[in-house]
Amino acid sequence: MEIKFNESELAEVQMHIDKYPIKKSAIMPVLWMAQKKFGYISKEVMMFVGELLDLPYSHVYGVATFYTMYFKKPMGRHHVQVCTNVSCMLLKGDELFDSVSQRLGIKHNECDAEGKFSLEEVECMGACGGAPLLVINEDFYENVDIDKVNSILDSLN
């Protein structure tokens, strides 16, 4: 894919720049936009974001690698996240993670060969009252168990 934004995306970039007193501060929203469009933050994407915001590549690299949610490599269409932090672990979130890992045949931060699923063992997602927690892309599924998770995964294509 060509690393480029169209006109309406460039307008959105400008809208983000306008929210802050300096251009640099738009880096996080622009990285979010770039990840949505290009799938992950490759070196080319970092250079592109740098050009948009007049920032050196090294700065964009530093910021993009600081955060776990900017993917530095291609991930699956369905990014499956299971929380294993304390509240979830108390309700067997760790076992859930292992069983999902087994089912998908991939480990933490890996993606399957078809690019359908990727898996991440996540830290507390702020949904501890609904533990154990499964998140797929942006959707939270609370109070799940292994059967529920399996049927959710079955329903995805």
Partner 1 sequence: MTKNPKLVLPEIENYHSYSVYTANGGYNAARKALKQTQDEVINEVKASGLRGRGGACFPTGLKWSFMPKVSEKPKYLAINGDESEPGSFKDRQIFEFNPHGLIEGALIAGYAMGIKAAYIYIRGEYHKWVNCMQDAVDEAYAAGVVGEKMKATFGIDFAMDIYVHKGAGAYICGEETSLMNSMEGDRAYPRFKPPFPAQVGLWGCPTTVNNVETIATVPAIFNVGASEYAKLGAQGHAGTLLYGVSGHVNRPGVYELETGILLTDLIQDVCGGVKNNKRIKAIIPGGSSMPPLRGDEIEGIKMDEESLKKLGTHIGTAGVMVMDEDTDIVKVTLRIAHFYHHESCGQCTPCREGCGWMEKVLKRINKGDGTSQDLDLLLSVCDNIEGNTICALGDAAAWPIRGFILKFRDEFEAKVKKNRSFQALNVVHGRRESAKTLVFEN
142: phi then psi, degrees, rounded to nearest 5 = -100, 165
Strand partners, 80: 119, 136
Instruction: Report if residue 128 touches ligand FES, rule: CB under 6 A.
Output: yes
Whole-angstrom distance between the N-terminal and C-terminal Cα of the chain?
23
Question: Can you tell me the distance from the alpha carbon of 134 to that of 111, in angstroms, rounded to the nearest whole number?
Answer: 17
34 binds ligand FES (CB under 6 A): no
Residue 62 structure tokens:
């530093």
Binding of partner 1 at residue 68 (CB under 8 A)? yes
Interface with partner 1 includes 36 (CB under 8 A)? Answer: no
> Does residue 57 interact with partner 1 by CB under 8 A?
no
Three-state secondary structure call for residue 57: helix
CB of 109 to ligand FES, least distance (A): 18
Q: Which of residues 133-152 bind partner 1 (CB under 8 A)?
A: 135, 138-140
Contact partner at residue 134 from ligand FES, partner 1, none, CB < 5 to 8 Å by partner kind: none
| Contact in structure between 141 and 82 (CB atoms under 8 Å) | no
- Using CB under 8 A as the binding rule, whether residue 66 contacts partner 1 is answered as yes
Q: Interface with ligand FES by CB under 6 A: which residues?
A: 83, 85-88, 124-125, 127-128, 131, 133
